[in-house]
Amino acid sequence: MSTASFWPVPFILDPNTLAIDAVVAFCVSVLVTITINAEAQAFMSNFLGDRRPGARDRLHFNAFLHLDILGSICFLVGGFGWPRAFDIDPGKFEYPRFYLVLTRVAGPVANLLMASIVGSMAMLINAFEYNPRVFLMVIGVNITTAIYNLIPIPPLAGGAFLSALMPREWDRVKWWFNQMGPYLILAIVLLARIKGEMPLGTYLNPLVTAIYNYIKG
């Protein structure tokens, strides 16, 4: 059996062509994706100095505690999203701005690593002539989330990078930017869904597809 894609990549739920297996596979993939993304950020934050012994919002590997309302809606509408934010104290970092960016970037990097691991599992399952459909969905959602994190709007990793570049005098602008970022992303995705084209999809989707095809083999 070939490991050709059973799903469009990036995968976006379409009410006109919904199938139970696709919905289940997508939901499982979203839970895996946000868990890996959030736990990687928590690990990196702890590793770089912001340690929170006993903090319940870190390193618990409970996917449902990582669900963010707007991030989950974005997954349903746009095929990518983000986990619930947890508190980070940059003051505990030796290099606050740089380490904060590293913490946020750890999420999408972990998603790419997860996609690679699951890709190896899918090839192994395929070698035994079992169906790797769910595994392929996990790969696709993880890659889509990782690549769309390049968009420079918080809470995506690209937004952390842009915030780090803002001068200190812009702290009020930065605060507004971080607060409104999730709503802005969701508004862009909803508008793009109505128009039938994802934001920056012309540039990001070919990259998503290329990495997906490379990983799944």
- List the chain domain ranges: 15-216
**Model confidence pLDDT, tens digit, residues 27-74:** 999 999 999 999 999 999 999 999 877 666 678 888 999 999 999 999
8 Å CB contact between 45 and 103: yes
Predicted TM-score (pTM) of the model is 0.91
Give the C-alpha separation, 65 to 98, whole Å. Answer: 27
- Closest residue by Cα to residue 78 from 188, 215, 204: 188
Name the one residue in this structure whose structure tokens are 């509408």: 77
